[in-house]
Amino acid sequence: MSYQAEYQRSMNDPEGFWREKAQALPWFKFPETILSQDSDGIYHWFADGELNTSYMALDYHIEQGRGDTLAIIYDSPVTNTKTTYTYSQLRNEVAKAAGMMASLGVTKGDRVIIYMPMIPEAVISMLAVARLGAIHSVVFGGFAAPELAVRIEDSQPKIMISASCGVEIKRVIEYKPLLDKAINLSSHKPQSCIIFQRPECTAPLTAGRDHDWSALMAHAQPVAPVPVKGTDPLYILYTSGTTGKPKGVVRENGGHAVALNYSMDAIYNLKAGDVFWAASDVGWVVGHSYIVYAPLLHGCTTIVYEGKPIMTPDAGAFWRVCSEYGVKALFTAPTAFRAIKKEDSEGEFLKQYDLSKLTTIFSAGERLDPPSQQWLMDKSGKPVIDHWWQTETGWGITANLQGVEPMPIKLGSSTVPTPGFNVQILDESGQELPRGQQGYIALKLPLPPSCLATVWGSVEKFKESYLSMFEGYYASGDGGYIDEDGYVFVMGRVDDVMNVAGHRLSTGEMEEVVGSHPAVAECAVIARDDDLKGQIPIGLVVLKTGAQINEAEFSKELAQMIRASIGAIACYKDTYIVQRLPKTRSGKILRKNLRQMINGQEYIVPSTIDDPAIMPELEALLSSKGAKVGS
């Protein structure tokens, strides 16, 4: 089948297209309603179907005779541990973990927050929540206590699951104090917490609230999968928007299973039994979709890797894993490739491993810069495929569909729209722009299965954040263009969201933290391009009149405040003290101009600027402080 034929069918007859894709999965009750709209006008897929995602991802494969196939390979260079789980073993653990949660009162629709490092118990917990028809919300282990607290407050979990610690390259990070602090900060209190004690550190348990994972599991009774509706939520995953408060993206069971299972064939070209490795973290959407759900729904073996691309122990780490387990497709973020390239520019490590089973390398999370893409293709001899997606969609919006029709790679492009996604480039007024012209990337409604159904707790917020900018479209927040051949080029965010090492962070949220320092009158946090991490934040700060500070100390204090409020992953280090910030006459800070200036790009100041002299003044000041600027 050609790409064009597949894509056009998804556009001309979306219901027929997705009904057919849904037939590949074992529903308890196959949906009669494929696409529908609710009273708020929001589209949903497979509303009256009945399924259980944990059943589809585990029990079904055992029924098909794949019980002895490996489901998970856990490889942890930071703890020197390797373990495997067959589908039968994993199902048994998941059924027991579901029983453990049920014994604490978790039932269908309840929320469970999972705050864990990259260990199999994180995956087991997610699948166990799904088995009960409950809703998980996984919080990335690198987030600090206040970030966790916001998610507790918003999702109101009945229970929380955590581990005693995470293990980073240089240190063991105790999770329990962060968990306790977050619960203290939140007005909502979970009834119980289950703590998985790791040998690297043992956490003291709070009597009456905390339970030891192993002690509960020892007596837990396995439970059967609970049927849910296609539109019942599987999970909430919080993501940074432009405001200080993250948004809870709600993913529904039915559409999620169908789209992810389809993507394993269409995008990644994988079959049951193949080994797939998404080198990410379960705390991010890539981890949800491609460490956990998609490979397991498809009967593949997935790798849970607790390590880094470099330093665990060297820049050959990824190639060692690919070779050792016969990985067929590898998926990670460009920052990982850049880290490897920096340490091993000649690709010497690549040569040491047998990568004959590796057919394709996939990249997402941020734009894959052409030099890194070319370098990796040259050194590995494999196609390196960029694909564009978001937490909100849960899978690739544009891709080079290896299982449909592999297309020529164009450096810098994430290729063509994935079937189901009607990708358009619009101008500010919502008019479609011709090929080659850069604008807002928008997706014409309805979105295909798996895309967010709402923002947790507020359909109004969903509409306001995504649907109100362009009538009849989902506004992606990204800008870019489509070329004459229909290839999509995603050039970056058009809003104040930044991307640090593939992690999406809100500049607004960082500004709230910086602005809370007693010496700060006002501030702007801007994304500066970075060779390794893509972008890193820097702060421009105007001090309160009379504030007495030591500049170096002050900068350290702000960095520490961001670490404590958001997490070390924000990588906030540099602060520049300025006299004033450029603003429009109505008082809006000209962040886009600042971003362009700080990155040495040309910028055109709007006529609404209150004082045009400020930009050259600021440029001179920042240059004198060693910042790279200049139009």
Under the binding rule (CB under 6 A), the answer on residue 390 touching ligand COA is no
* Shortest CB 385 distance to ligand AMP, Å: 10
Cβ-contact 481, 492 below 8 angstroms: no
- Which of the stretches 186-194, 361-369, 405-413, 430-438 binds ligand AMP when contact is defined by CB under 6 A? 361-369
Our measurement of the distance from residue 273's CA atom to the centroid of its chain's CA atoms, rounded to an integer in Å, reads 25
Q: Which of residues 558-577 bind ligand COA (CB under 6 A)?
A: 568-569, 571
* Burial zone of 366 (CB within 10 Å; 0-12 exposed, 13-18 middle, 19+ buried): buried
Under the binding rule (CB under 6 A), the answer on residue 76 touching ligand AMP is no
Phi, psi at residue 478, to the nearest 5°?
-105, 155
Under the binding rule (CB under 6 A), the answer on residue 499 touching ligand AMP is yes
Q: Which of residues 290-309 bind ligand COA (CB under 6 A)?
A: 308-309
The edge-to-edge listing of strands for the beta sheet with 70-76 is 81-86, 70-76, 301-305, 275-278, 329-332, 360-363, 384-386
Under the binding rule (CB under 6 A), the answer on residue 449 touching ligand COA is no
Q: CB neighbours (10 Å) of residue 343? A: 15
**DSSP annotation of 591:** H
- Which of the stretches 106-114, 335-343, 352-360, 420-428 binds ligand COA when contact is defined by CB under 6 A? 335-343
Q: Which does 75 bind (CB under 5 to 8 A by kind): ligand COA, ligand AMP, none?
A: none
* Shortest CB 134 distance to ligand COA, Å: 24
User: Residue 146 or residue 225: which is nearer to ligand COA going by CB?
Assistant: 146
Q: Which two tokens stand for residue 605?
A: 């100041």
Cβ-contact 36, 47 below 8 angstroms: yes
* Burial zone of 552 (CB within 10 Å; 0-12 exposed, 13-18 middle, 19+ buried): exposed
CA-to-CA distance for 544 and 375, rounded, in angstroms? 48
Which of residues 10, 155, 413, 414 is near ligand AMP by CB under 6 A?
414
Under the binding rule (CB under 6 A), the answer on residue 310 touching ligand COA is yes
What is the pattern of x (binds ligand AMP, CB under 6 A) and - over residues 34-73? ----------------------------------------
The C-alpha torsion from 200 through 206 and 208 to 211, rounded to 10°, is: -10
Q: What angle do CA 247, 573, 283 make, to 5 degrees?
A: 35
Cβ-contact 203, 181 below 8 angstroms: no
**Nearest of 302, 262, 222, 299 to residue 60 by alpha carbon:** 299
Under the binding rule (CB under 6 A), the answer on residue 280 touching ligand COA is yes
User: Residue 312 or residue 414: which is nearer to ligand AMP going by CB?
Assistant: 414
Which of residues 104, 172, 173, 519 is near ligand COA by CB under 6 A?
173
Which of residues 6, 153, 168, 617 is near ligand COA by CB under 6 A?
168
Q: Which residues bind ligand COA (CB under 6 A)?
A: 117, 141-142, 166, 168, 173, 280, 284, 286, 308-310, 332-333, 335-336, 339, 365, 501-502, 532, 568-569, 571
Q: Which residues bind ligand AMP (CB under 6 A)?
A: 239, 285, 364-367, 386-391, 414, 477-478, 490, 493, 499, 504
